[in-house]
Every structure is written in structure tokens, then in C-alpha cells.
Amino acid sequence: MSLVATPAQATTTAELELLTQLIGRPSVTPADAGCQDLIAERLLAIGFQIERLPFGEVSNLWATRGGAGPTLCFAGHTDVVPTGPEDQWTTRPFEPAERDGHMYGRGAADMKSGLAAMVVALEQFVAARPDHDGRLAMLLTSDEEGPAKDGIRRVVEAFQQRGESVDFCVIGECSSVDQFGDRVMVGRRGSIGATLTVLGRQGHVAYPHLADNPIHPALAAMRELAYLEWDGGNTDFPPTSFQITNVRSGTGATNVIPGTAEFDFNLRYSTELSAGAIRKRVVDILDAHRLNYRLDWWLSGEPFLTHPGPLRAAAADAIRNVTGLTPTESTAGGTSDGRFIAKLGTEIVEIGPVNATIHQIDECVRVDDLPRLTAVYRRIMEQLLAQA
């Protein structure tokens, strides 16, 4: 057997080596476990300047190379979700294992494969074009899988204060569904939630006239909210979805009317609505049902959309060129750190491997998707910075 690797084999080896090293670092959110140090070392070697932006327990890294012209940023997170029961894994979650054409380990897909491909793509591009136009950047956080309060949110706030601009951003989230390249994310729905506490008066179930059961009127209000047509969506976003996620009431006894009833709910909303409009509509309905209540809101992120332009065109072209597929452009799914980066007026796309095993036992990524992911990232650089 020849020991001389073909170009494709060499690329795969570089990515697998880095991915293996990243998976081997148990970076359960908000820990980084040295992942950013490893990546920073690679980026320093090709002329990047490194800036650390720690907030609380969270590690954030901003790396840049170049000057005049548009900034193209590759963004991602080094933290991973907890493993779950380790005895249910075929191999230990932080001991990367390659078998059956896949690399297994926590974070293999979400999103250390994306990070490995980004770094290798940057190395290849800089080697080919050391005097490239524009500015290359990489933005990393260890707080995406957790509360996401001290990660990219705080970095963007710092960027806004100092006037830092990012023209284009590619996020390495797992965008693909059935095969690599079949979908690219061009936006995300907003997410707003609340805890509704309906107040009544506790009492004996046999004497309802001496109590005030909060559940009965609350159910009518929640039913109206659940079946309300919030909007019809639009060409880029599906209709807004309202979901009750938790219900809490009662003392555990069957002969006691409870004094309170709590409902957690969440809306994933389109650009047809604003957080303010949602709050007002909820309050109007609760007031119409004459509830005595308390409402505690939290806004996880506002909807954002990258309209057709240079980045969407470059992403679609790169995927077609590398995979032969024309990707679906979507805004479905959960939130991502794109919701914070969008506040900079940045064009954003999310391109990554298949999401079928993310957050699961035996999370994995196809090994042969890694060089293709690298090639897509590199071609995006070649297109956008060549236009500078």
C-alpha cells in the first residue's frame, strides 16, 4: 500500500486529526477545555491576530487576518451538551472513535467537525492566497449550548461599543438533513417565552365556594392562546407557533383545590410579529378572561433573515460545486448564535454536516463529509474575497 496520500486523503487526514483532538477535550458547556487554545495555535501559525474576550466562566475568541475590504467571519462554538448516560455509548463520548465511515464522539457533529473544517479551510486559503483581499475572521464561544448569556451575545455588545463590523458570517451549525449540502440556513425564527402564574385560593375540594380554583379559568385562556392563528408566516418563515411546555399546580393531594397554577409557554415567531406585539396580545387575552395573574417573560432571540445577496449566492454556488446539490434555503429549527451576530447588520448563513445524531447517544459525523465541508468553506472565501 502506498504511503503517499492523494490531495483528498491529505485533506481528510488534516481534518480528522484536528477533529480527533477537539472531541478529546471534554468541553461540556460552559467549559472550553482547551479547544480555543488549540485552534488559536493553528491560526497564529498562519498570521492571525488573537483576542480573548472572556466573560464570567465563558471563553470567547476573536481572530483576524488582513485589513482593508470586507470581513468574512467563520463562527462557531466549542462547548457541547452533556453526554447523558455514558454506559449507553458504544465507545466513550470523549474518546473519538472512527468506524463504519463515521467519527463518533460528543461534539462530532455539533459542532467540532464544522470547526475543524473551518480551520483547515482557512489554512488552505491562506497558503494559496497569502496576500488575500479583505479580512478573514474566526469567532468562537464556549456558551452556545448553555444560557448563551456570556458568549456571542456579550461579544457582539463589545463589538457594537467599539464599532467592529462583520460583513459576512458563516456559522458551522449542522444545517444538513439527509445528506451534506441539502440545506443551508439563511435565517432563524425568533423565540420568546414566559411563565404564567395564575393566582387563586387554596381550599378543600368538597367546599369549592370557599376556594378559588385557578386552573379552570386558566385552561380557557390557554386554549385560546394555543389555537390562535398568530400570523400566516411569509415566503421566508413558517407561521408563528405557540406551545405550552410545562404545567404545574396542586399539592399532590386529590382533595385540595390548588392556590396557584403555572404554565410555561414558548413562541417561535416569524418576521410578521415583534416581541412587543406578542406580549400585548397575550396580555389582552389573559385580561379578557379576567385572570389574576403574574407573567414573567424572557426573550431568547429575535428573528433574522439574510436576504438574497453575495453571501447566499456564494454559499449556494459552493455547495452545488462541491456536492452537485442545490440546497434548500431555510429558516426552520431552533435558535443559533446568528441571532446575536445579526445585530451587527451582518449577512449570515449556516452550513454544516447532517444533524441526525446531534445531542444524542453515539453522536457522529460522516468522515467523507469533512473534506467536502472544508471545500465549501474555502470556495466561499474564494468567491467573496475575490470580489473585494
Q: Do residues 273 and 225 lie in contact, with contact meaning Cβ atoms separated by under 8 Å?
A: no
The mean per-residue pLDDT over the stretch 26-55 comes to 98
What is the pLDDT at residue 13?
77
pLDDT at residue 12 greater than cutoff 60? no
pLDDT at residue 249 greater than cutoff 80? yes
The mean per-residue pLDDT over the stretch 48-65 comes to 98
Percentage with pLDDT > 90 across the chain = 94
Q: CB under 8 Å to 32, separation ≥6 — which residues?
A: 25, 59, 78, 79, 142
Query: pLDDT band at 349, cuts 50/70/90?
Result: very high
d(Cα 243, Cα 262) in Å, to the nearest integer?
14
Which architecture, in CATH terms, is 190-301?
2-Layer Sandwich (3.30)
What is the pLDDT at residue 68?
83
CA 215 to chain CA centroid, nearest Å: 36
Of 339, 365, 362, nearest to 352 (Cα)? Answer: 365
pLDDT at residue 9 greater than cutoff 50? no
pLDDT at residue 203 greater than cutoff 90? yes
What is the pLDDT at residue 334?
87
Q: Do residues 125 and 382 lie in contact, with contact meaning Cβ atoms separated by under 8 Å?
A: yes
What is the pLDDT at residue 260?
98
Query: pLDDT band at 5, cuts 50/70/90?
Result: very low
Fold of 7-188+303-386: Aminopeptidase (3.40.630)
Tell if the pTM clears 0.75, that is, is over it.
yes
Of 28, 69, 74, 298, nearest to 171 (Cα)? Answer: 74
The region of weakest confidence among 4-13, 196-205, 379-388 is: 4-13
What is the pLDDT at residue 343?
96
The b-or-e profile of 341-363 (16+ CB within 10 A means b, else e) is: bbbbebbbbbbbbbbebbeeebb
Domains 7-188+303-386 and 190-301 share a fold: no
What is the pLDDT at residue 162?
97
Mean pLDDT (the chain) is: 95
Please spell the DSSP secondary structure of 88-142, one letter per residue. Answer: GSSS-TTS-EEETTEEESTTIIIIIHHHHHHHHHHHHHHHH-TT-SSEEEEEEES
pLDDT at residue 27 greater than cutoff 50? yes
What is the domain partition of the chain in residue ranges?
7-188+303-386, 190-301
Q: State the amino acid at position 276 in one-letter form.
A: G
Name the residues annotated as catalytic: 79, 144
The mean per-residue pLDDT over the stretch 183-192 comes to 97
The mean per-residue pLDDT over the stretch 22-41 comes to 98
Percentage with pLDDT > 70 across the chain = 96
What is the pLDDT at residue 353?
98
The mean per-residue pLDDT over the stretch 145-165 comes to 97
